[in-house]
Structure formats: C-alpha cells, structure tokens
Structure 1
Amino acid sequence: MSGERQASASVVAENESQGADSIHRWIYGRLAGVSAVPRGWRLSRLPDVARLESGHTPARTVPAYWGGDVRWLSLHDTKRLEEHVVTETSMTITSAGLNNSSARLLPAGTVALSRTATVGKCVLLGRRMATSQDFACYVCGPSLHNKYLLHLFRHMQPVWAVLGGGSTHKTVYMPVFENLQSLLPPLPEQRRIAEILDSLDEAIRKSERVIAKLEQMKQGLLNDLLIRGVDEHGELRDPERHPEQFKDSPLGRIPRGWEVVRFGECLSGSPQNGLYKPSSYYGVSGTPIVRIDGFYDGVLAPVSAMKRLRLADQELKTYRLEPGNILVNRVNSIDFVGKAALVPELPEPLIFESNMMRCHLLTDRLVPRFAIRWLTSYLARRWFHRRAKSAIAQASVNQGDVTGLRVVLPEPDEQERVVAAVESVEQRVDSESEQLAKLRTLKHGLMDDLLTGRVRVFASEEGKP
C-alpha cells in the first residue's frame, strides 16, 4: 500500500470512528438532505466521467527546468484560486522540466482543486498548463460539465476539511479522489445550474468591485477633506486655483482660519488607561468590556459580541465609557498600535481594557466624528508608527504620544461639513455591502438546493430537467 493510500485509509477510519457522515456522503455518493435520487440523476464515480490527474514539481536544483514558457500552477498562486479561471501563474517551467518530471500538461478547462494547505480552493485552467502535486485535477468527459464540477467542489468546502489528514498541513490524499462519487444531473441541467451560479458569482464580483472603488474614493476624498476642507458652499477648497485661501503649517498647506494643535489641547483631562482583570473574573454574565479585538477602522464591535466580567461598583464608575469618547489602542502589533474607535450610543454600560486609553473630547473644539476620521487617517497612523516603542512581538505608545499628535482644527461647523461629505460615501458603501451580503446568502442557499436536486431547473435543450 502506498504512503498516500495508507494515510487516506487512516483518515477515513479516524473520521468514521468519530461518526463523520461526510466521509460516507461523498465517497459513497450520499448528499445531505437527499432522501432519494432525484429523477434523471445518477450516481457516478468521478474518475469514470473525468480523467483524474495530479502534478509534480521538477527538480529545483536544475535551473534548466525553471523559467520557461509552461505555466505551472502551485501554492504560490493561492490568491488566483479565488477566481473562476486562472490563465497566469507565479512560476513557470520549461519543456525539459515537464519532460523530466511526473508533471503533465493539462488542457484548458481542467478543474484543479488544491488538496494541500489551502485545501478545497478550486479553479478552472484557462489555458494549457501543468500543476504541482498539491492539486488534484479532473479533465471532464462528455457527460460532465466542468463548470458544474467547479461549483460542486466549491460547495464541498466544509467536506474537504473533514477528508483532509496531516498534522502540520491538511492534505486530501489521492485515493479519496480516486473513489469520489457524486449524484450527477443530466448534462443540460448541469449546464443550466452552472449558468445560474455563474450569474450570481458575476453579480457578487460586480458588487465587490463597486465597493472597492467606493472605498478607494472615500479614502482619497477623506485625505483631501482633512487638509483642504469644505467651504460654506459645500465645495472642496482648491489650493491651486485659490492659493490665497491657504497657509503653511507643520502639516503642510491648510486653509486660512484653521489651526494645528496638539490632540491633548482638545481633551478634558489626560487620557486614561483601562482596567486589567485576571481571566477568573470573566464569564457569561456581567459588564461587557472592550478588548484589543473589539474595534477596527474607527468602529466598535457589537456589544453583544464582547466578553463580560464581574466588576465592583467603583470600577464601573471609573472605567465606564460614554458616547463620544475616543479609544486609542496603546499596546498591539506595530501595524495596529494607535488604532482608534469612537464610542457610539450604547445599549448598556461598557468598560475598556488596560491596553487602551480613553479620551474625553472638548466637543466645542473637536467634533467627535471629525476626530475619529483624523485619528484613523494616514497622518495619525504615520505619527503612531514613528513614536511606537518596540518590544517582543508588540509595540506601544504612551499618553504623551497620544496627546502630542498634531491635529487640524477647523471651526466646528466646517468639521461637520467634512464629516457629512465622508458619510455620504460611507452610506453608499454600506448600501452596497448589504446588497453583497444578500447576494452571498442567496448563492449559498441556491447552491445547496441546486446541487442536491431539491430544486430542479429547466434546461433549454430538453425543456425540462
């Protein structure tokens, strides 16, 4: 018995002993929630309807095998596996590398599934190419549509984790693929299912592109607004057309009438460190506490998701957060030290942990929603990164670093105009994000219905499935 065959048998036996129905479901062809074979469907071993292939890595010690014109799909292409089709690869091999290894040149349209490390990632080859041994590849025959198989494999994502073995890197061994079975609909229905899921995938990709474009636009707009401001007519000030409206400052050219001050000048009192409590004080009840992972990009996580702990009345009084407070993370990795969040209206009392500081703003000088935009800007991030003190696996800033941060200070009404301009884009991002979430939910439900035969679709070639 080969090493992979022995390992595969061990994984199957282990999971069967744990009652893992996924092993039976996919090796022996049963599908979740399907009590009977849908009309017109048949149980097939995938190697009977598609040619199973794997790949190989040419000897890395032979330079002549590498850098040629043969695309070679490997784990270096993990990001590309998020797409439906891959046409380029991070590495290439030569014809000599292909001929002097077990790698094979596979045709366009082959379904390649990552079976090691990034287990379950699946893609169609968009051109002839070879792969590493980290992939199981199916060259579909005339009764199996490759795009249908792609969607089927992606729907099986939770199953691959069960079928995988190995302690360091999960691996689905080749005997699993040799024995894999599935219930397959007629070819016209396969094509129709793939078309429906492809159209949803395209809608999802389009929504993702819109959100990415809006996020980019928001960041560019925010950077301009924080330095150029918005005049009383709602227009972005232009330093090139109207240089007389600007002046020099420690932060560069800013509108006349603005100030550059230290953040500490906009606070009531000094920043205050939060509360430390041993793990024995934490539980399922008590007062929620903001921890290091409780906020990102200026926004607190939902209070319902936060851990809770027992407090004395005086501790709650001392560390209770109020709407409009600013939290600044004082200890974290170098990429996140100095991250900040604005405390919103709260459904219940909330406190904060010792690795962050609470700042009370003088709101007649610095509008909280403007302040958080400044504290999450590239100028503030650059300040904290330069001031951070490094230690083992973490970095820190102190109260002096926080109070010493330079901030621009327009009049409060202009601060409000700046915030309103940014929030108009944020609302568009939120709207698109809600639509994206609905599309993903719809796709997940449809995949489960269509790929199990619970919902049948009409196929144009037959009129009915």
Structure 2
Amino acid sequence: MKGVEKVERMNLTGGKKEKWPMVRLGDVCQIVSGSTPKTHVSEYWNGTVKWVTPAEIKIDSNYIHDTDRHLTEAGKLSASLQLIPKGTVLLTSRAPIGKVAIAGDDMYCNQGFKNLICSPKIYNRYLFYFLKKNTHYLNSLGNGATFKEISKKVVENILIPLPPLPEQQRIAAALDHVNSLIALRKAQITQLDMLVKARFGEMFGDPVRNFMQWDTLTLNELCDGIGDGLHGTPTYNENGNYPFINGNNLMDGKIVITESTKFVEKNEYNRLYIPIYQNAILISINGTLGRVAYYNNEEVVLGKSVCYCNLKNTVIKVFIYEIMMSDAFKEFLESASTKSTIKNVGLKAMREYRVILPPINLQEQFAGFVSQIDKSKFEIHNGLTQLKILKKSLMQEYFG
C-alpha cells in the first residue's frame, strides 16, 4: 500500500508486539456529508425520512436509531442528500468537532458531519473507538474564522492503525465489554438516587404542595446568610491553586473541577473570599438552573451563577439538599427566573422560598437512610472509577 507507515501495538491474544499498518481513512472509508433543505418550505418537513443533526450526538452516544426531525421525500430530493447507510460512523465536523455515534438505521444528515461509510477492510466499532480516543486531535485539525470545521480532505488524510479485521473486532469487543460494565454501574447509581427520591416522597410528600401540612419556614430563616458569587471577572492565573466556580461545576452533589475551569492565585482568592459554612449548600441560579452540591470547605471563588445557602447548624443538610434536588424545587426555579435569554433567579426569591419542616426525628431518620445509600454508592463509584481507568488504559494501548 502506497505511503504505508508502521506502528507497534500489543497483540490482544498474546504478549508480543505486532506492527500494524497506518492507513488513510479515505482509503478504507467513503466520506459523506449532507445539507439542510429550505426550512421555510413546509412540504419538505415532517415526513418519514430520518435526518440527523450534530446536536443529537451526545458525548455518550452509541447508536442513533431515530432522529428529532424528519424530511419528506420532496425535502430529501431538494437538497440532493446522499444516503447514510445503517452502520455508518457519524462524525460531527463542526459545532462541535469530534462527537461520534453509529447510524442504527438508514438516514440522512445536515452539513455538520463528515460521516464514514466503512469498507470491508475496517470494522465500524473499531473506527468508532479510534475517533472517540482522538477528539482533541480532531479539534486541532479544524480551520475557520467564525467557527472551526474539519474538511472532507482533512478527514480522508487522517491515519489510523489497521490490524487484521479479526483483531479489530476483538479490540472493539473488549471496549464494548468495559463500556457495558460502566453503563451498568451508572444505572445502579441512578437506581439508588431514585430510591432516595422515592423514600423522600413516602416520608414527606410533595415539598411544594405540602399535602401533609408540615410547618414551613423561609429558606432565609433556615440560614445565617444567602448570597451569590462574584459579579465580574477575577484575575486568572494558570498557575493558581484556587478554582473559579460556576454552576457547571456543581455535579452529583460535589464541586467538580473540569478542563475548562480557570484558577486564581492566593492574593486574588483572599480579596474575593466569601465566608461559606461547612453546613452550606450551593445551587446554580444563572444559566443552567438547579445544579446542587454540598460545600465541604473547598477553597474556591464563586461566580455569580452560584448561590450559597449557609444553613444553620441545627438544620439537617441532607434533608434540605433532597428538597433542592426535587422536581418541585426545579419547577420553582424555572417559575422564579427572569424570562431573558439567560435564565436567572434572584436572591430575593431564594430567600423567600418556603421549606417544609417535618419533625426533626423524621428528618434524621431520612438522613440515616441516605447515609446507608451513600455507602453503597461509594462502593459503586469506586468500581466505576476503576473501569474508567481501565478503559482509558485500553484506548491508549490500542490507539496510542
């Protein structure tokens, strides 16, 4: 094969290294894109023809069997769309670059893709994982002033290690197995969260409608202070040790540092310091509403999208947290938010929110139940972490 390079990879069935040829994707795949029929022509839309857009490809997407929008035959013909056969690897080429899934049925797409129809030389699941591993690399290939995009030519020239087809299938099967275990652990965590919600409902009912007629107090009466973070931009320092937190950093009851999190240095942290209690709860009130996390003495700078509630020491934090995680509380946030482009809930509305107060012994009983559930979740999370490490290791071994 012209221009073939060699790359060493571990043989899955043994310990020796083999040299796998590096081939161009354009030599083993047909690259196809799509387009959008005129949106104002009603005859082109709401038919039976599946038509996918990049927004439908999520970070954990696997197979796409149906699409949000459907075209008519006239719409398909008007845009001269090329069929994406079942089994094609879908690759978003802009806004954003690098999201991947596999077509679970025949479909068509808009112009935001460079999809790969696999030849008999390459297994689609193997290619799927290769692209998953190389998201950052794919983004580095993007060009464009307004937004980055990768061209058909760029995708055709990407090199991929190509072991024999049975080896590709074994690699994909190994990663599929790890993925299935990861999905199982996530499902177990979800089930435990649902169990907590069900227990809360059994014990206390709807916290807004309050059919059980519990006593209520405002959230402000339960706190020694309710406020939000910095209305402005701090002085960032890439060598700083103090993260600047917004609502997107509140995940699964914790403050989570992401790749996009920025940091400040000690002096800036001291200047912006807000006293937050150990017994505090954080809620996102700007942009994405209703993300909730416990505060555990982390040294962070809060942005304006984060509201802190310094709960009094006599308040059962787990009970209040579950109220804030309820659908009823999220409905309150939506109803209390401004109707502008970016949703925002004012501190006045937060302070005036009325919280049910069942007898303290019932709150403590619920907190004990949650504590037992958390022990189970901790074990599952540990297993999930190990599986993610294993998957990362395997991806590195197979694809470098």
- TM bucket, shorter chain: 0.7 to 0.9
In 2 relative to 1, CA 71–368 (structure 1 residues): closer, same or farther, beyond 3 Å? closer
Is 1:252 aligned to residue 211 of structure 2? Answer: yes
- C-alpha deviations, 1:437-460, integer Å up to 9, x for none? 2222211110110234xxxxxxxx
Q: Residues of 1 paired with 2:70 and 2:248: CA distance?
A: 43
1:434 is aligned to 382
1:260, distance to aligned residue in structure 2 (A): 3.7
Q: How does 1:334-345 map to 2 (within 5 A)?
A: 336=289, 343-344=295-296
CA distance in 2, matches of 1:72, 1:421: 47
Q: 1:413 aligns with which of 343, 354, 361?
A: 361
1:240-279 superposed matches below 5 A = 251-254=210-213, 259-262=215-218, 271=225
Is 1:89 matched up with 2:67? Answer: yes
C-alpha displacement of 1:128: 2.3
Superposed CA RMSD in Å reads 4.5
Q: 1:179 aligns with which of 152, 157, 162?
A: 157
Contact 1:285 1:309 in 2 (8 A): no
> In the TM superposition, what is the alpha-carbon distance from 1:156 to its structure 2 partner?
1.4
- Worse-matched range after superposition: 154-163 or 50-59: 50-59
Unaligned runs of 5+ residues in structure 2 are: 11-16
Query: Are residues 1:395 and 2:354 paired?
Result: no
Return closer, same or farther for 1:287/1:446 CA change in 2, 3 Å cut-off: closer
CA contact (8 A) 1:53 1:137 kept: yes
Q: Does 1:422 align with 2:374?
A: no
Is residue 56 of structure 1 aligned with residue 11 of structure 2? Answer: no
CA shift in 2, pair 1:206/1:402, >3 Å: same
Moved more, 416-425 or 58-67: 58-67
Whether the 8 Å contact between 1:333 and 1:395 is mirrored in structure 2 is yes
CA shift at 1:408, angstroms?
A: 1.1
Which residue among 307, 323, 326 is the counterpart of 2:278? 323
**Counterparts in 2 of 1:346-361, with a 5 A limit?**
346=297, 359=310, 361=312
Using the TM superposition, give the Cα deviation of residue 106 of structure 1 relative to its aligned residue in structure 2, in angstroms: 3.2
Q: Does 1:196 align with 2:150?
A: no
How many pairs does the alignment contain?
Answer: 385
Q: Tell me the distance in 2 between the aligned counterparts of 1:134 and 1:286.
A: 37
- Residue equivalent to 1:44: 23
Quick check: 1:361–1:368 contact (8 Å CA) kept in 2?
Answer: no
Equivalent position amino acid for 1:447 in 2: M
Q: Distance in 1 between matches of 2:55 and 2:231?
A: 43
In 2, Cα distance between the equivalents of 1:274 and 1:28? 58
1:47 to 1:168, Cα distance in 2 relative to 1, 3 A: same
Alpha-carbon distance in structure 2 between the residues aligned to 1:103 and 1:83: 23
Does the aligned pair in 1 maintain the 2:21–2:163 contact within 8 Å? yes
- Report SS of the residue matched to 2:18: coil
Q: C-alpha separation between the residues in 2 aligned to 1:361 and 1:183?
A: 59
Match of 1:111 in 2: 89
Residue matched to 1:157: 135
Give the match's secondary structure for 1:68.
Answer: strand
Partner of residue 255, structure 2: 301
- Contact map agreement 1:71 1:93 (CA 8 A) in 2: yes
For the 8 Å contact 1:260–1:407, the answer to whether it is kept is: yes
User: In the alignment, residue 134 of structure 1 is paired with which amino acid?
Assistant: G
Q: State whether structure 2 residue 55 is matched by structure 1 residue 70.
A: no
Secondary structure of 2:137's aligned partner: helix
What is the deviation of 1:380? 5.1
Structure 1 residues 76, 289: CA separation in 2 closer, same or farther (over 3 Å shift)?
Answer: closer
Give the aligned partner of residue 319 of structure 2.
370
Letter in 2 for 1:203: L
3-state DSSP class of the match of 1:333? coil
CA spacing shift, 1:311–1:211, aligned 2, 3 Å: closer
More strand by share: 2
- 1:137 matched residue in structure 2: 115
Equivalent in 223, 232, 246 of residue 201 of structure 2: 223
Residue pair 2:234, 2:268 contacting (<8 A) in 1 also: no
Distance in 1 (CA, whole Å) between partners of 2:383 and 2:397 is 21
State the distance in 1 between where 2:239 and 2:205 align: 45
Q: Distance in 1 between matches of 2:77 and 2:126?
A: 32
Q: How far apart, CA to CA, are the structure 2 residues paired with 1:294 and 1:53?
A: 35
> Normalising by the residue count of structure 1, what TM-score does the alignment of the two structures yield?
0.66
The amino acid that maps onto 1:184 is L
When the two structures are superposed, what TM-score results if normalisation uses the length of structure 2? 0.75
Q: Is the 8 A contact 1:53 1:136 kept in 2?
A: yes
Say whether the 8 Å CA contact 2:130–2:399 is kept in structure 1.
Answer: yes
Amino acid paired to 1:323: Q
Could you give the per-residue CA deviations for residues 188-238 of structure 1, whole angstroms, max 9, x where no partner exists? 111111111111222222222222333233223223333499xxxxxxxxx
Q: Is the 1:271–1:359 Cα contact (8 Å) retained in structure 2?
A: yes
Would the aligned equivalents of 1:261 and 1:408 in 2 still touch at CA under 8 Å?
yes
Q: Which residue of 2 aligns with 1:443?
A: 391
Alpha carbons of 1:307 and 1:378: their partners in 2 closer, same or farther (altered >3 Å)? farther
Aligned-pair distance for 1:149? 1.3
The whole-number CA distance in structure 1 between the counterparts of 2:8 and 2:145 is 28
Identity %, equivalent residues: 21
CA distance, structure 2, for counterparts of residue 438 and residue 218 of structure 1: 25
CA shift, 1:288, in A, is 6.7
Return 5+ residue gaps in structure 1 as ranges. 1-26, 230-248, 453-465
Counterpart code for 2:25: L
Cα distance 1:142–1:125, how it changes in 2: closer, same or farther (>3 A)? Answer: same
Post-superposition offset of 1:184: 0.9
